[in-house]
Amino acid sequence: MTDLLAAIPEAPEPDWATAFRMPIVECGEPMEALGTSQGFLVWPAYHRLGIPNALPECHARAGVFARLLQAAKLLPDGLRLVVLDAWRPFAVQQHLYDTLYDILRQHEPNADPAELTRRTREFVAPPSTRAEAPSPHLTGGAVDISLCDQDGRWLDMGSLFDEATPRSYTRHYEDATDGHGRAIRDRRRLLFNVMREVGFSNLSSEWWHYDYGDQLWAWHTGAPAAIYGPAQVPSLEQLWRQQLHNLRP
């Protein structure tokens, strides 16, 4: 069993070009609604924030759901996981990427476009629906999570969810010397270690972002291939068509 307060190791920024070249051997796991869980809380952040096309429910692959339940059971008494986002429609991914890029460009109008792209990618993955290189959240393998107490009150994690500043880097508080900073450090360590214990990898620029089964996870962990490619939350029409198709002799 991993020490749940072990230090968070240093990790490089993702090499997106290399990660997107990782092979995908799709395992066919279904997507599941996370809001039915009794083991953790779900708060669909982008829907609550009014982001266009964001869904009122969080969906993820069955294997991700199972590992979230395992991680929740590893937490000390009185703490709970909160899922903020999981599978994400492409329109939402594009909106987040474009919006952050434009804000950074307005803030620093003389910045080099390549540097703006790099900084945008720290907090929003490049939008892609390509079968061989989908954005992590489009696979159902990526989740954004935080911690709350037993009554559902958010814990201070040192930055806001999706805050585009260095405070969001997972290791930002590792060298904290004051009591408040050390408390944040320990919460981030706890979240990091329970998620790693059940098989997730973390995006080093976002303390809240974890992957399982997608190309970013394969790149981080050294797995030979990703097991999740692009996924969809099926509409009722699609379900009816599939059901009728399955009835054919």
> Is residue 63 pLDDT above 80, yes or no?
yes
Higher-confidence residue of 181 and 113: namely 181
> Is residue 73 pLDDT above 70, yes or no?
yes
Q: What's the CA gap between 20 and 133, in Å, rounded?
A: 5
Q: Is 174 a catalytic residue?
A: no
> Is residue 48 pLDDT above 80, yes or no?
yes
Known binding-site residues equal: 137, 144, 209
- The reply to whether 2 falls in a domain is no
The whole-model pTM stands at 0.90
- What average pLDDT score do residues 223-241 get? 84
In this predicted structure, which of 16-30, 84-98, 118-132, 206-220 has the lowest mean pLDDT?
A: 118-132
Known binding-site residues for Zn(2+) equal: 137, 144, 209
> Is residue 43 pLDDT above 90, yes or no?
yes
Q: What's the CA gap between 62 and 182, in Å, rounded?
A: 35
Domain of residue 167 covers: 16-246
Q: Is the dihedral of CA 207, 212, 215, 220 positive or negative?
A: positive
Q: For residue 239, what pLDDT band results from cuts at 50, 70 and 90?
A: low
**Which residues, including other chains, have CB under 8 Å from residue 114's CB and lie 6 or more apart?**
none
Q: What SS3 class is residue 81?
A: strand
| Confidence at residue 77, expressed as pLDDT on a 0 to 100 scale | 95
- The reply to whether 7 falls in a domain is no
- The reply to whether 63 falls in a domain is yes
- The reply to whether 1 falls in a domain is no
CATH number assigned to the domain comprising residue 145: 3.30.1380.10
Q: How many domains does the chain have?
A: 1
Q: What's the CA gap between 95 and 81, in Å, rounded?
A: 26
Nearest CA among 17, 105, 97, 89 for reference residue 54: 89
Higher-confidence residue of 9 and 125: namely 9
- The reply to whether 142 falls in a domain is yes
In this predicted structure, which of 21-25, 112-116, 199-203, 210-214 has the lowest mean pLDDT?
A: 112-116
- The reply to whether 6 falls in a domain is no
Select which of 29, 163, 206, 237 is catalytic.
206
For residues 88 and 81, is the Cβ–Cβ distance under 8 A?
Answer: no
In this predicted structure, which of 46-55, 217-226, 239-248 has the lowest mean pLDDT?
A: 239-248
Q: What stretches of 34-159 adopt beta strand conformation (E)?
A: 41-42, 59-61, 79-85, 142-149
- What average pLDDT score do residues 78-89 get? 96
**Encoded tokens for 233:** 């939350």
- The reply to whether 80 falls in a domain is yes
- The reply to whether 3 falls in a domain is no
| C-alpha separations of 245 from 15, 235, 242, 248 in Å | 42, 15, 5, 6
> Is residue 1 pLDDT above 70, yes or no?
no
Q: Around Cβ 131, how many Cβ atoms within 10 Å?
A: 10
